[in-house]
Amino acid sequence: MADSYYDPADLRKFGKISEWSEELGTKFFDYYGKVFEEGALSAREKSLIALAVSHVVKCPYCIDSYTKDGLEKGITKEEMMEAVHVGAAIEGGATLVHGVQMMNKYNKLSM
């Protein structure tokens, strides 16, 4: 029995998703690989972005993977934490801006 719902060993099984849908799995991994190639953004920058997004979408597998990847690419713990805070700020702002929707609805219903 695992100590948590997310078993870190399952990350190594990620490639197996193609076994149940080979065509879509292959297309996804081709796309995924292409996205992380050097381009207008460096692989290091993409890793840092991926780490921040991993926290926003709350993916423990991604957090583990991109923390390790970031370390391998020379990203410091301070850079990682700052990226996490950027993600948190955007997520918090996105939540709060929806308060405008609530305010509009409240005003409409309370007339």
What distance in Å separates the CA atoms of residue 103 and residue 24, rounded to the nearest whole number? 42
User: Structure pTM?
Assistant: 0.83
Helices 77-97 and 43-56: angle between axes, nearest 10 degrees: 50
Q: Quick one: pLDDT at residue 1?
A: 45
87 close to 52: Cβ distance less than 8 angstroms: yes
Q: Quick one: pLDDT at residue 64?
A: 94
Q: Quick one: pLDDT at residue 15?
A: 87
Query: What is the mean pLDDT, run by run of 10 residues, along the chain of 111 residues?
Result: 75 89 95 96 97 96 96 98 98 94 95 89
Q: Quick one: pLDDT at residue 6?
A: 83
What distance in Å separates the CA atoms of residue 63 and residue 54, rounded to the nearest whole number? 5
What distance in Å separates the CA atoms of residue 78 and residue 48, rounded to the nearest whole number? 11
